[in-house]
Amino acid sequence: MRWMRTLPLVTLGPLLLALVGLVHPGGLAPETAHRWVTLHIVLLPVFPLLALGFPVLLRPPPAWSPAGPVEAATVIAWVGAAVYAVAYTGLDAVAGIGAGTIADQPGDQAELRALVLSLYDVGDRIGQVGVYAFLVAVLAGAVALGARHGARVLPGTVILLGAGYSFIDSHIFWPRGVATMLAMAAGFALWAWATAKRPAPAAAYGASGAL
Protein backbone atom coordinates (compact mmCIF):
# COMPACT_ATOMS: atom_id res chain seq x y z
CA MET A 1 0.00 0.00 0.00
CA ARG A 2 1.24 3.47 -0.90
CA TRP A 3 0.64 4.93 2.55
CA MET A 4 2.87 2.27 4.10
CA ARG A 5 5.68 3.43 1.82
CA THR A 6 4.98 7.06 2.67
CA LEU A 7 4.71 6.48 6.42
CA PRO A 8 8.47 6.25 7.18
CA LEU A 9 9.14 9.51 5.32
CA VAL A 10 6.50 11.58 7.11
CA THR A 11 7.25 10.21 10.60
CA LEU A 12 11.05 10.11 10.37
CA GLY A 13 11.66 13.67 11.60
CA PRO A 14 9.34 13.69 14.64
CA LEU A 15 10.41 10.20 15.74
CA LEU A 16 14.11 11.13 15.55
CA LEU A 17 13.43 14.31 17.52
CA ALA A 18 11.50 12.35 20.14
CA LEU A 19 14.47 10.01 20.55
CA VAL A 20 16.89 12.93 20.89
CA GLY A 21 14.53 14.54 23.39
CA LEU A 22 15.04 11.58 25.70
CA VAL A 23 18.73 12.51 26.10
CA HIS A 24 18.44 16.29 25.67
CA PRO A 25 19.62 18.14 28.82
CA GLY A 26 16.76 19.68 30.77
CA GLY A 27 18.67 22.95 31.04
CA LEU A 28 21.91 24.62 30.01
CA ALA A 29 24.65 24.84 32.63
CA PRO A 30 28.46 24.64 32.49
CA GLU A 31 28.32 20.91 33.24
CA THR A 32 25.85 20.22 30.40
CA ALA A 33 27.17 22.76 27.90
CA HIS A 34 29.36 20.38 25.86
CA ARG A 35 26.53 17.84 25.44
CA TRP A 36 24.13 20.71 24.65
CA VAL A 37 26.35 21.95 21.81
CA THR A 38 27.00 18.45 20.45
CA LEU A 39 23.31 17.55 20.37
CA HIS A 40 22.35 20.77 18.60
CA ILE A 41 25.03 20.26 15.96
CA VAL A 42 23.59 16.79 15.35
CA LEU A 43 20.10 18.29 15.18
CA LEU A 44 20.93 20.80 12.43
CA PRO A 45 19.76 18.45 9.64
CA VAL A 46 17.07 16.81 11.78
CA PHE A 47 14.78 19.73 12.70
CA PRO A 48 13.94 20.44 9.02
CA LEU A 49 12.84 16.81 8.62
CA LEU A 50 9.87 17.59 10.84
CA ALA A 51 8.30 19.36 7.85
CA LEU A 52 9.07 16.59 5.34
CA GLY A 53 5.45 15.42 5.50
CA PHE A 54 4.24 18.51 3.67
CA PRO A 55 6.14 18.06 0.38
CA VAL A 56 5.69 14.28 0.55
CA LEU A 57 1.92 14.34 1.05
CA LEU A 58 1.17 17.50 -0.93
CA ARG A 59 2.72 16.48 -4.21
CA PRO A 60 0.94 17.94 -7.27
CA PRO A 61 -1.69 15.66 -8.84
CA PRO A 62 -1.42 14.95 -12.60
CA ALA A 63 -3.90 17.71 -13.47
CA TRP A 64 -2.18 20.29 -11.26
CA SER A 65 -2.75 23.90 -12.30
CA PRO A 66 -1.27 26.82 -10.33
CA ALA A 67 -4.49 28.84 -10.59
CA GLY A 68 -6.93 26.96 -8.33
CA PRO A 69 -7.61 27.32 -4.57
CA VAL A 70 -6.36 23.82 -3.81
CA GLU A 71 -3.11 24.55 -5.60
CA ALA A 72 -2.82 27.89 -3.78
CA ALA A 73 -3.29 26.14 -0.42
CA THR A 74 -0.64 23.61 -1.45
CA VAL A 75 1.87 26.35 -2.23
CA ILE A 76 1.10 28.11 1.07
CA ALA A 77 1.75 24.83 2.91
CA TRP A 78 5.06 24.37 1.09
CA VAL A 79 6.14 27.93 1.90
CA GLY A 80 5.11 27.53 5.55
CA ALA A 81 7.10 24.30 5.77
CA ALA A 82 10.15 26.00 4.25
CA VAL A 83 9.90 28.97 6.63
CA TYR A 84 9.65 26.57 9.57
CA ALA A 85 12.73 24.64 8.40
CA VAL A 86 14.83 27.79 8.03
CA ALA A 87 13.63 29.50 11.22
CA TYR A 88 13.90 26.50 13.50
CA THR A 89 17.37 25.77 12.19
CA GLY A 90 18.15 29.37 13.21
CA LEU A 91 16.86 28.67 16.72
CA ASP A 92 19.00 25.54 16.86
CA ALA A 93 22.10 27.49 15.83
CA VAL A 94 21.54 30.50 18.11
CA ALA A 95 20.04 29.05 21.30
CA GLY A 96 21.61 25.66 20.84
CA ILE A 97 25.12 25.87 19.42
CA GLY A 98 25.73 29.56 20.20
CA ALA A 99 24.36 29.62 23.75
CA GLY A 100 25.97 26.27 24.58
CA THR A 101 29.35 27.47 23.35
CA ILE A 102 29.10 30.61 25.53
CA ALA A 103 28.08 28.58 28.59
CA ASP A 104 31.10 26.32 28.08
CA GLN A 105 33.58 29.20 28.34
CA PRO A 106 35.56 30.08 31.48
CA GLY A 107 34.92 33.45 33.08
CA ASP A 108 32.43 35.32 35.18
CA GLN A 109 29.33 33.14 35.34
CA ALA A 110 26.95 36.08 35.76
CA GLU A 111 28.25 37.73 32.59
CA LEU A 112 28.17 34.46 30.67
CA ARG A 113 24.63 33.80 31.88
CA ALA A 114 23.52 37.22 30.67
CA LEU A 115 24.95 36.45 27.22
CA VAL A 116 23.23 33.06 27.18
CA LEU A 117 19.88 34.63 28.09
CA SER A 118 20.24 37.20 25.31
CA LEU A 119 20.87 34.39 22.82
CA TYR A 120 17.87 32.52 24.20
CA ASP A 121 15.71 35.59 23.63
CA VAL A 122 16.79 35.94 20.00
CA GLY A 123 16.58 32.21 19.35
CA ASP A 124 13.12 31.89 20.89
CA ARG A 125 11.76 34.67 18.69
CA ILE A 126 13.19 33.04 15.57
CA GLY A 127 11.87 29.65 16.65
CA GLN A 128 8.38 30.98 17.28
CA VAL A 129 8.28 32.35 13.74
CA GLY A 130 9.12 28.85 12.57
CA VAL A 131 6.43 27.15 14.66
CA TYR A 132 3.75 29.63 13.61
CA ALA A 133 4.77 28.98 9.99
CA PHE A 134 4.42 25.25 10.71
CA LEU A 135 0.87 25.86 11.98
CA VAL A 136 0.05 27.83 8.84
CA ALA A 137 1.37 24.91 6.80
CA VAL A 138 -0.89 22.51 8.72
CA LEU A 139 -3.97 24.67 8.10
CA ALA A 140 -3.18 25.16 4.42
CA GLY A 141 -2.27 21.51 4.02
CA ALA A 142 -5.57 20.49 5.61
CA VAL A 143 -7.44 22.65 3.08
CA ALA A 144 -5.57 21.11 0.14
CA LEU A 145 -5.80 17.54 1.39
CA GLY A 146 -9.40 17.93 2.52
CA ALA A 147 -10.42 19.04 -0.96
CA ARG A 148 -8.93 15.87 -2.38
CA HIS A 149 -9.67 13.33 0.37
CA GLY A 150 -12.54 14.72 2.42
CA ALA A 151 -13.11 14.47 6.16
CA ARG A 152 -10.55 11.66 6.55
CA VAL A 153 -7.88 14.34 7.01
CA LEU A 154 -9.56 15.86 10.09
CA PRO A 155 -8.13 13.57 12.83
CA GLY A 156 -4.57 14.11 11.65
CA THR A 157 -5.18 17.84 11.29
CA VAL A 158 -6.48 18.18 14.86
CA ILE A 159 -3.49 16.27 16.26
CA LEU A 160 -0.98 18.28 14.21
CA LEU A 161 -2.53 21.59 15.29
CA GLY A 162 -2.46 20.56 18.94
CA ALA A 163 1.12 19.33 18.69
CA GLY A 164 2.16 22.47 16.83
CA TYR A 165 0.65 24.65 19.54
CA SER A 166 2.54 22.68 22.20
CA PHE A 167 5.73 23.00 20.13
CA ILE A 168 5.70 26.79 20.57
CA ASP A 169 7.32 26.44 24.00
CA SER A 170 7.99 22.73 24.50
CA HIS A 171 10.92 22.38 22.08
CA ILE A 172 11.85 18.68 22.43
CA PHE A 173 12.42 18.73 26.20
CA TRP A 174 11.29 15.70 28.17
CA PRO A 175 8.47 15.00 28.87
CA ARG A 176 6.17 17.41 26.99
CA GLY A 177 8.48 18.00 24.06
CA VAL A 178 8.90 14.27 23.50
CA ALA A 179 5.13 13.78 23.71
CA THR A 180 4.72 16.65 21.23
CA MET A 181 7.01 14.96 18.72
CA LEU A 182 5.21 11.63 19.11
CA ALA A 183 1.90 13.42 18.53
CA MET A 184 3.31 15.01 15.36
CA ALA A 185 4.38 11.57 14.13
CA ALA A 186 0.84 10.31 14.79
CA GLY A 187 -0.70 13.30 13.00
CA PHE A 188 1.41 12.86 9.88
CA ALA A 189 0.76 9.10 9.97
CA LEU A 190 -2.99 9.79 9.98
CA TRP A 191 -2.58 12.21 7.09
CA ALA A 192 -0.66 9.53 5.18
CA TRP A 193 -3.44 7.03 5.86
CA ALA A 194 -6.11 9.55 4.89
CA THR A 195 -4.47 10.31 1.56
CA ALA A 196 -3.92 6.68 0.59
CA LYS A 197 -5.76 5.54 -2.49
CA ARG A 198 -8.46 3.00 -1.71
CA PRO A 199 -9.63 0.41 -4.22
CA ALA A 200 -13.05 0.92 -5.73
CA PRO A 201 -15.65 -1.68 -4.72
CA ALA A 202 -15.52 -3.31 -8.15
CA ALA A 203 -11.77 -3.62 -7.95
CA ALA A 204 -11.89 -4.94 -4.40
CA TYR A 205 -14.59 -7.58 -4.91
CA GLY A 206 -14.52 -8.20 -8.65
CA ALA A 207 -16.74 -6.85 -11.36
CA SER A 208 -19.45 -9.40 -10.55
CA GLY A 209 -19.50 -8.44 -6.87
CA ALA A 210 -18.24 -11.87 -5.81
CA LEU A 211 -15.39 -12.23 -3.35
Average pLDDT over residues 135-149: 95
Q: Distance (Å, rounded) from C-alpha 113 to C-alpha 28?
A: 10
**Residue 121 pLDDT > 50, yes or no?**
yes
Structural domain span for residue 44: 2-196
**Residue 51 pLDDT > 60, yes or no?**
yes
**Residue 209 pLDDT > 70, yes or no?**
no
Of 57, 66, 31, nearest to 160 by C-alpha is 57
Q: Distance (Å, rounded) from C-alpha 143 to C-alpha 153?
A: 9
Q: Of 32-41, 103-112, 201-210, where does the model show the most confidence? A: 32-41
207 found inside a domain:
no
151 found inside a domain:
yes
Q: Distance (Å, rounded) from C-alpha 14 to C-alpha 188?
A: 9
203 found inside a domain:
no
Query: According to the model, what pLDDT value does residue 67 have?
Result: 67
Write out the DSSP string of 140-174. HHHHHHHHHHGGGGHHHHHHHHHHHHHHHHHTT-T
pLDDT-derived band at 65, boundaries 50, 70, 90: low
pLDDT-derived band at 133, boundaries 50, 70, 90: very high
97 found inside a domain:
yes
75 found inside a domain:
yes
3-state secondary structure at position 95:
helix
Of 166, 198, 156, nearest to 11 by C-alpha is 156
Average pLDDT over residues 160-173: 96
Percent of the chain past pLDDT 70, that is, above it, reads 88
209 found inside a domain:
no
Average pLDDT over residues 168-183: 96
Task: Please give the model's pTM, rounded to 2 decimal places.
Answer: 0.89
pLDDT-derived band at 2, boundaries 50, 70, 90: low
Average pLDDT over residues 179-207: 76
Query: According to the model, what pLDDT value does residue 201 have?
Result: 41
27 found inside a domain:
yes
Burial pattern 58-76, b for ≥16 Cβ within 10 A else e, equals beeeeeeeeeeebbebbeb
The number of domains in the chain is: 1
204 found inside a domain:
no
Residue 181's alpha-carbon distances to 6, 106, 157, 185, 188, in angstroms, are: 18, 35, 15, 6, 11
Of 129, 117, 53, nearest to 91 by C-alpha is 129
pLDDT-derived band at 4, boundaries 50, 70, 90: confident
Length of the chain: 211
